[in-house]
Amino acid sequence: MRVSSLAVFSLFAITAEAQTNPGAAPPAATPKIAWEADFDRAMQRAKDEHKPVFVAFLMDDEPANDETIAKHYTDKRIVELSAKFVCLACCIGQHEEKDGSCAKFPGITCAQHQAIEMKARARWLTGEDVCTPQHVFCDTAGNVVTRKVYLVPKDGLEKCMVHTLEAVTKDPDATAVVAAERARVDKWLKELESRNAEVREAAMRELVLTEDGRAIPAILRIAKAGTDETLRVGAINSLAKKGNIPAVRPLAGLLGEGKAQILIAVARALETIQLPDATADLLVSLKKEKRDRVRGFLLRAAARSSPTNAAVREACLKALSGASAQLEPCVLLALGRLSPHPTIVAAVRSRLGDKNQNIRGLSIWVLGSQALPECMDPLQELLRTEKTPEVVKIATSALSKCRREKVENYDNSFTTFFSDSDYQ
């Protein structure tokens, strides 16, 4: 094992400090959440001790999940709050240390968090797509109080824990915090009635970040039919926050709208939220919709919401065949969001010779996103003849992706060849 000179210097400094100041306090231990070792006993303890349940679903080797474990679960305030919960770690990964303990979830073994994951998944998750990191907060009987999907800021996770404690146990400290937030929400709710557009929009931005149960319904009332269309679009746009579960079903209910501007706003919001709950509604809407400018956004939303869904993949491939100039770029963007599949590669590679450099660039981006072995030959062949600098650049990056090399910000590199404003 190689040790850097900085590490050696740091070790020397610590040793010197211990020798010159033997009474010095040792470094403070990293705060740790006390994870439960058995699902059934944990649920019984929640009832017996009248504690809410904190359930964490995580996966391995993914940045947002890794950050949650490394930064959120070692945060002093979050660890302090977790002591008021019964805490369940749910992960199918293997991280066993030499002593048999789990390196990711201190105090339990990998076999234990794997067994807990199976029971917790059956109880609290639905559908085949499991989005992580995901935190489910329950009452003492295991009934869901609130749910957070994807990475949330540390203060956002803390806020969920506080609101759960207030709702389930009337914890006095939590009650004081919730009361203070309620006062702020009262102010923002009043500002929704303002005639000043900037004031209204600022209020909606704040409301969508709160845990107050009145916030999302208040925004949705503006988003529904019967109000000014510009106001409606603004309200829908404010709900476009990744993982915004409470907004998904109400937004899906607006997919029956006839107005293109509203449908596009709803599809864009669902694309940003990225949850599978609205996928079936998006596909139904897609079958009825005839306008290409709307269909493109519906396909993008479905692909982003359910990247592994076979029906979504087939809908995208069908739309690509004979797609108009208005629809084709959006379909390619949707295909680039889907999980790797040979049929996508076969459908896209024929467009590498398109006269339009934007179509070539988007097609290349799709192949890099797919990153399958069969993507490499067509990319290498294109690079032998391609002259456009922007296309050469994306093709080089795509080839690196296919070689499993790290490419910074590849997911968003399609923007060189695509802009939403061109297709609304």
- Residue 100 lies inside a defined structural domain of this protein: yes
Q: What is the pLDDT of residues 353-399, one digit of tens each?
A: 999 999 999 999 999 999 999 999 999 999 999 999 999 999 999 99
Note whether 160 and 185 are same-domain residues: no
Enter the tokens of residue 299. Answer: 């396909």
pLDDT value at residue 257: 86
Mean pLDDT of the chain, nearest integer: 91
- Mean pLDDT score, 331-338: 97
Q: What is the distance between the alpha carbons of residues 124 and 383, in angstroms, rounded to a whole number? A: 49
pLDDT value at residue 126: 76
Residue 89: phi and psi, rounded to 5, are: -95, 130
pLDDT value at residue 228: 85
pLDDT value at residue 9: 32
Query: Which of these three, 239, 270, 285, is where a domain ends?
Result: 239
Note whether 124 and 188 are same-domain residues: no
- Dihedral through CA 376, CA 379, CA 381, CA 385, nearest 10? -160
Residue 274, helix vs strand vs coil:
coil
Q: Is the model's pLDDT at 322 over the cut of 80?
A: yes
Half-sphere exposure (CA, 13 Å, Cβ side) for 225?
Answer: 8
- Residue 337 lies inside a defined structural domain of this protein: no
Note whether 154 and 60 are same-domain residues: yes
Query: Which of these three, 169, 184, 205, is where a domain ends?
Result: 169
Note whether 181 and 164 are same-domain residues: no
Note whether 99 and 192 are same-domain residues: no
Percent over 70 (pLDDT), the chain: 92
- Mean pLDDT score, 29-54: 95
Q: What is the pLDDT of residues 141-170, one digit of tens each?
A: 999 999 999 999 999 999 999 999 999 999
Phi-psi region at 6: left, alpha or beta (left = phi > 0; alpha = psi -120 to 50)? alpha
- Residue 29 lies inside a defined structural domain of this protein: no
Closest CA to 374 of 332, 340, 338, 345: 345
- Residue 10 lies inside a defined structural domain of this protein: no
Percent over 90 (pLDDT), the chain: 85
Q: Is the model's pLDDT at 18 over the cut of 60?
A: no
Note whether 92 and 159 are same-domain residues: yes
Note whether 215 and 152 are same-domain residues: no
pLDDT value at residue 11: 36
Lowest model confidence (mean pLDDT) among 11-25, 95-109, 157-171: 11-25
Q: Is the model's pLDDT at 324 over the cut of 60?
A: yes
Q: What is the distance between the alpha carbons of residues 93 and 57, in angstroms, rounded to a whole number? A: 11
Query: Which of these three, 267, 300, 327, is where a domain ends?
Result: 327
Note whether 193 and 164 are same-domain residues: no
- Residue 357 lies inside a defined structural domain of this protein: yes
Q: Is the model's pLDDT at 202 over the cut of 70?
A: yes
- How many separate domains does the chain show? 4
Note whether 186 and 73 are same-domain residues: no
Note whether 348 and 278 are same-domain residues: no
- Residue 419 lies inside a defined structural domain of this protein: yes
DSSP state of 60: S
Q: What is the pLDDT of residues 252-282, one digit of tens each?
A: 999 998 899 999 999 999 999 999 999 999 9
- Mean pLDDT score, 306-316: 97
For the domain that residue 203 is a member of, what is the CATH number? 1.25.10
The distance of Cα 364 from the centroid of its chain, to the nearest Å, equals 25
- Residue 250 lies inside a defined structural domain of this protein: no
pLDDT value at residue 21: 57
For residue 97, count other CB atoms closer than 10 A to its CB. 12
- Domain encompassing residue 294: 255-327
DSSP codes, 207-272 = HTT---TTHHHHHHHHHSTTS-HHHHHHHHHHT--TT-HHHHHHHHGGGG---HHHHHHHHHHHHH
For the domain that residue 111 is a member of, what is the CATH number? 3.40.30.10
Note whether 107 and 176 are same-domain residues: no
- Edge-to-edge strand list for the sheet holding 53-57: 86-90, 53-57, 134-138, 144-149
- Residue 332 lies inside a defined structural domain of this protein: no
Note whether 154 and 215 are same-domain residues: no
Q: Is the model's pLDDT at 423 over the cut of 70?
A: no
